């Protein structure tokens, strides 16, 4: 595979690094975000490190069978970031791809353009498969992967190392030579304007700062009693759930939302949507409210908003909700929105000490009245 030294595509220029890039390399790799998610660059990152990279490090990547480019503005030729090819396995036609962008150049599509430009060039020169690995909390990088045509393939457990020596999972995103060009269509699109609201309640994506609230809600005895198995979550587990909420949304695993009072912004509870059968267009919903907000119609309103989004922008055809048979309050909410009782699946859910719980399923079709 022979790659050009200069590639111009998608509104950016890929070229070799130059001495005049030194200050911009320092800006890009000394940045706290780069330092958090890139463990290779030294800390602190200095001008000496940037000069070494330009004179020695980058040329060594090419010598070793990889490729590394400065991503530059075609009009000014100023460095905006970098994109690289690594871990090449020629026998498999496979390689990895990575990128970084200067803080002042972020939010302009530079990483997406650079990644698309290099990917197109590499795949048109004999490569079959490109793999992009991201930290689970690096959602900006995950959005770049999707926009550049990379599909989520799964997780590599403990494949990443932190600066503290700890290990963490990496998410794998893959683009094949015969994949259709352009961004990947997500299973769970972003909320329009970032929020769903009927002016009484509002739904937004769960965020890391919601962890304490979610722990208080989901560790309440009556909430735990309606889970399977009915075991209280740990604070650590709830914190991780909130930190990874955006990532889980981007991978299509689950959309977790915070329910708030639209007027005051006060938190009301949480709800979620997850696919149970992608090919069949079926997804499931769930919800829980803080005690002070119960009995005031907030759960019904939140569920209606979630249902409209699921049947609209998400495009599912059928929604289900599994409940324990004695959760009559939840049954009333579902029926008010139009869900119908379908079946009791005996012993479907795990209980405590080896016991099994029945699952009463409700369902709603996109064509059903609601």
Same structural domain for residues 159 and 41?
A: yes
Q: Which of 121, 147, 176 is the last residue of a domain?
A: 176
Same structural domain for residues 158 and 52?
A: yes
Q: Is residue 349 part of a domain?
A: yes
Distance separating alpha carbons of residues 218 and 288, to the nearest angstrom: 8
Q: Is residue 113 part of a domain?
A: yes
Phi, psi angles (nearest 5°) of residue 251: -80, -10
Domain of residue 211 covers 192-365
- Per-residue confidence band for 88, with pLDDT thresholds at 50, 70 and 90: confident
Q: Is residue 370 part of a domain?
A: no
Same structural domain for residues 151 and 297?
A: no
Same structural domain for residues 166 and 213?
A: no
Same structural domain for residues 196 and 55?
A: no
Q: Which of 176, 211, 227 is the last residue of a domain?
A: 176
Q: How high is the mean pLDDT of the chain?
A: 96
Q: What is the per-residue pLDDT for 52? A: 98
Distance separating alpha carbons of residues 193 and 211, to the nearest angstrom: 23
Task: Specify whether the CB–CB gap between 360 and 353 falls below 8 A.
Answer: no
Helical packing angle, 211-218 and 235-243, nearest 10°: 130
Q: How confident is the model over 101-108, as a mean pLDDT?
A: 97
% of the chain beyond a pLDDT of 90: 94
Q: Is residue 341 part of a domain?
A: yes
Same structural domain for residues 248 and 163?
A: no
Distance separating alpha carbons of residues 255 and 191, to the nearest angstrom: 10
pLDDT at 155 over 80: yes
pLDDT at 3 over 80: yes
Q: What is the per-residue pLDDT for 54? A: 98
- Per-residue confidence band for 1, with pLDDT thresholds at 50, 70 and 90: confident
Q: What is the per-residue pLDDT for 207? A: 98
**pTM of the predicted structure, to 2 decimals:** 0.95
Same structural domain for residues 106 and 52?
A: yes
pLDDT in tens, 331-341: 999 999 999 99
In three-state form (DSSP H/G/I as H, E/B as E, the rest C), the secondary structure along the chain is: CCCCCCEEECCEEEECCCHHHHHHHHHHHCCHHHHHHCCCCCCCCCHHHHHHHHHHHHHHHHHCCCEEEEEECCCCCCEEEEEEEEEEEHHHCEEEEEEEECHHHCCCCHHHHHHHHHHHHHHCCCCCEEEEEECCCCHHHHHHHHHCCCEEEEEEEEEEECCCCCEEEEEEEEEECCCCCCCCCCCCCCCHHHCEECCCEEEEECCHHHHHHHHHHHCCHHHHHCCCCCCCCCHHHHHHHHHCHHHHHHHCCCEEEEEEECCCCCEEEEEEEEEEECCCCEEEEEEEECHHHCCCCHHHHHHHHHHHHHHHHHCCCEEEEEECCCCHHHHHHHHHHCCEEEEEEEEEEECCCCCEEEEEEEEEECCCCC
Q: How confident is the model over 209-224, as a mean pLDDT?
A: 96
Q: Is residue 1 part of a domain?
A: no
Q: What is the CATH number of the domain that holds 160?
A: 3.40.630.30
pLDDT at 344 over 90: yes
Same structural domain for residues 157 and 247?
A: no
Same structural domain for residues 19 and 85?
A: yes
pLDDT in tens, 280-311: 999 999 999 999 999 999 999 999 999 999 99
Q: Which of 110, 141, 176 is the last residue of a domain?
A: 176
Q: What is the per-residue pLDDT for 125? A: 93
Phi-psi region of 315 (alpha: psi -120 to 50; beta: other; left: phi over 0): left
pLDDT at 355 over 90: yes
Domains contained in the chain, number: 2
pLDDT at 47 over 90: yes
Q: Retrieve residue 2's tokens.
A: 């022979």
Q: Is residue 133 part of a domain?
A: yes
pLDDT at 27 over 80: yes
Q: Is residue 185 part of a domain?
A: no
Q: What is the per-residue pLDDT for 370? A: 80
- Per-residue confidence band for 2, with pLDDT thresholds at 50, 70 and 90: confident
Same structural domain for residues 72 and 152?
A: yes
Same structural domain for residues 61 and 149?
A: yes
Same structural domain for residues 146 and 230?
A: no
């Amino acid at each position: 595979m022979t790659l050009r030294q200069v590639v111009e595509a998608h509104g950016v220029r890929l070229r070799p690094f130059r001495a005049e890039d030194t200050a911009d390399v320092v800006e890009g790799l000394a940045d706290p975000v780069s330092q958090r998610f890139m463990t290779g660059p030294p800390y602190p990152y200095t001008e000496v490190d940037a000069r070494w990279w330009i004179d020695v490090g980058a040329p060594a990547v090419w010598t070793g069978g990889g490729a590394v480019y400065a991503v530059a503005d075609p009009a000014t030729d100023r460095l905006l970031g970098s994109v690289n090819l690594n871990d090449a396995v020629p026998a498999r036609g496979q390689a990895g791809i990575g990128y970084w962008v200067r803080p002042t150049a972020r939010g302009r599509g530079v990483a997406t353009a650079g990644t698309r430009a290099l990917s197109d060039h590499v795949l048109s020169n004999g490569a079959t498969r490109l793999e992009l690995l991201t930290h689970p909390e690096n959602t900006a990088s995950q959005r770049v992967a999707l926009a550049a045509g990379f599909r989520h393939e799964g997780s590599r457990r403990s494949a990443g190392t932190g600066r503290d020596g700890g290990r963490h999972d990496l998410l794998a995103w893959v683009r094949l030579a015969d994949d259709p060009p352009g961004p990947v269509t997500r299973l769970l699109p972003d909320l329009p304007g970032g929020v769903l609201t009927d002016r009484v309640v509002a739904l937004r994506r769960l965020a890391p700062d919601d962890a304490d609230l979610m722990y208080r809600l989901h560790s309440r005895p009556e909430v735990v009693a309606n889970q399977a198995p009915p075991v209280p979550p740990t604070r650590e587990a709830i914190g991780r759930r909130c930190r990874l909420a955006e990532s889980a949304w981007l991978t299509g695993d689950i959309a977790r939302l915070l329910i708030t009072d639209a007027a005051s912004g006060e938190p009301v509870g949480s709800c979620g949507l997850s696919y149970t059968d992608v090919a069949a267009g079926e997804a499931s919903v769930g919800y829980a409210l803080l005690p002070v907000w119960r009995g005031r119609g907030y759960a019904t309103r939140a569920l209606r908003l979630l249902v409209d989004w699921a049947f609209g922008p998400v495009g599912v055809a059928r929604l289900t909700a599994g409940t324990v048979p004695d959760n009559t309050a939840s049954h009333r909410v579902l029926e008010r929105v139009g869900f119908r009782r379908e079946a009791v699946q005996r012993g479907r859910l795990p209980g405590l000490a080896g016991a099994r719980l029945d699952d009463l399923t409700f369902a709603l079709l996109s064509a059903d009245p609601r």
